[in-house]
Amino acid sequence: MIDIKLIREQKELVKENIKKKFQDEKLPLVDEVYDLDLKWREARKRGDELRGLKNKSAKEIGQLMAEGKKEEADLAKENVKKMNEEIDFLEKEELSLEEEIHKRMMVIPQIMDDSVPIGKDDSENVENERFGDPVVPSYEIPYHADILESFNGLDKESAGRTSGNGFYYLLGDGARLHSAMLQYAKDFMIDAGFTYAIPPFMIRSDVVTGVMSFAEMDAMMYKIEGEDLYLIGTSEHSMIGRFKDQMVKEEELPIRLTSYSPCFRKEVGSHGIEERGLYRVHQFEKEEMIVICRPEESMDWYNKMWKLTVDFFRSLNVPVRTLECCSGDLADLKVKSCDVEAWSPRQQKYFEVGSCSTLGDAQARRLGIRIKTKEGNILAHTLNNTVCASPRGLIAVLENNYQEDGSILIPPVLRPYMGGKERIVPVKK
């Protein structure tokens, strides 16, 4: 959510930002907020004036009563009664206007960073940089579900019976490799100076609306029936929510946290749920990182964070690239975002394994996260980034470490988490 001062003072800038995001249907909201805010300020000003007059009249009434001027005192009391009625009306009008303003402000997008490329959708995202050589071996690499099934590591048929489409059982070395990646991701981030956390896996609606847009919430979140609770789609939500309505001390910044959680997503939309594979599913596990910092530090942390994900995947022998999200693909609360994509030697293209974002003060404004400084209280900046989400990360490791004989060469950094095992050998062709 943007600062309403931008609409008061730089209305055209807000409109231009909306146009760059190709959301022209939201342009009328800016003028609506501007007009509603004028009415709100007029009501607030008139209310303050009346409260001042009422206080002055109260003193005068006391003096008139002391002087025995009862008729004049009664007349003054009648005027105070009328003032109270008008004040009551104005307070209700203020509240109504605040609600209307807030409703519109919640869907006006955050001001993007000037460096964000302009484009209508994800087809116009821009490649930034590649890390590692995208190798295509001379031998064929099977579909990841077939690789897992070759060593009895996957059972989607049973998951279909117990839970439906979009769920899976990981078994044996498939499950071990998946867990090894997440355990290594945790230690990788701790070594990078982040504090490890396990957050709540359910959050209340006021936290949900504080960390994401309504459109994202509707497309992603599972609601617990009969309760004000939602299953998290990423631990960023509950990790940022931890600081709701909190005053953070400046000397505690930057706050660097890395968190593990299962994640639950509807995956509503054009992509759909995969029948056989594990790329798009309803349930997965993830190691996340978040940073809360001063405004002037947020862009530096943004660059540090996506580089950590790059380094993580390179240590697993996975070539990656970073893809800058264009304006039309940028979620409304985000200032800037990039995806980290892993190389798929089977498909001979890159696919998303992580996303890094700086949200400026958008989440902090919605949730009331402030920093206590010597100069006064300011809104914090929040950032988030994927370290490793599995099974997508698992797919990347399987494909890039697949050998001609059908075995998987376990990256050296993962071997301590798998009892020293160096290779996963298929048990069936």
Q: What is the 3-state secondary structure (H, E, C) of 296-358?
A: HHHHHHHHHHHHHHHHHHHCCCCCEEEEECCHHHCCCCCCEEEEEEEEECCCCEEEEEEEEEE
Provide the pLDDT confidence category of residue 428 given band limits of 50, 70 and 90. confident
Provide the pLDDT confidence category of residue 270 given band limits of 50, 70 and 90. very low
Mean pLDDT of 152-161: 95
| pTM reported for the whole predicted model | 0.90
Q: Which domains does the chain have, with CATH numbers?
A: 4-105 (1.10.287.40), 122-424 (3.30.930.10)
- Per residue in 107-123, pLDDT (tens digit) is 999 999 999 999 999 99
Res. 272: pLDDT tops 90:
no
Residue environment code for 388-414, b if the CB has 16+ CB neighbours within 10 A, otherwise e: bbbbbbbbbbbbbbbeeebbbebbebb
**Nearest residue to 367 via CA among 243, 267, 278, 251:** 243
* DSSP letters spanning 31-68: HHHHHHHHHHHHHHHHHHHHHHHHHHHHHHHHHHHHTT
Going from the C-alpha of 220 to that of each of 98, 188, 253, 264, the distances in angstroms are 28, 28, 31, 8
Look at residue 424 in the predicted model and tell me its pLDDT. 97
Look at residue 273 in the predicted model and tell me its pLDDT. 60
Alpha-carbon span 235 to 290, nearest angstrom: 9
Provide the pLDDT confidence category of residue 24 given band limits of 50, 70 and 90. very high
Look at residue 29 in the predicted model and tell me its pLDDT. 97
Alpha-carbon span 21 to 27, nearest angstrom: 11
Look at residue 215 in the predicted model and tell me its pLDDT. 72
- Report the residue count for the chain: 429
Provide the pLDDT confidence category of residue 269 given band limits of 50, 70 and 90. low
Mean pLDDT of 49-66: 82
Q: Are strands 169-170 and 195-197 parallel, antiparallel or unpaired?
A: unpaired
**Mean pLDDT across the chain:** 93
48: amino acid identity, one letter: D
Mean pLDDT of 184-195: 98
**Nearest residue to 195 via CA among 275, 254, 133:** 254
Provide the pLDDT confidence category of residue 83 given band limits of 50, 70 and 90. confident
Res. 140: pLDDT tops 90:
yes
Alpha-carbon span 275 to 20, nearest angstrom: 36
Which run of H or E residues covers position 379?
Answer: strand 376-379
Mean pLDDT of 272-283: 80
Alpha-carbon span 271 to 273, nearest angstrom: 7
Mean pLDDT of 60-83: 81
- Per residue in 303-338, pLDDT (tens digit) is 999 999 999 999 999 999 999 999 999 999 999 999
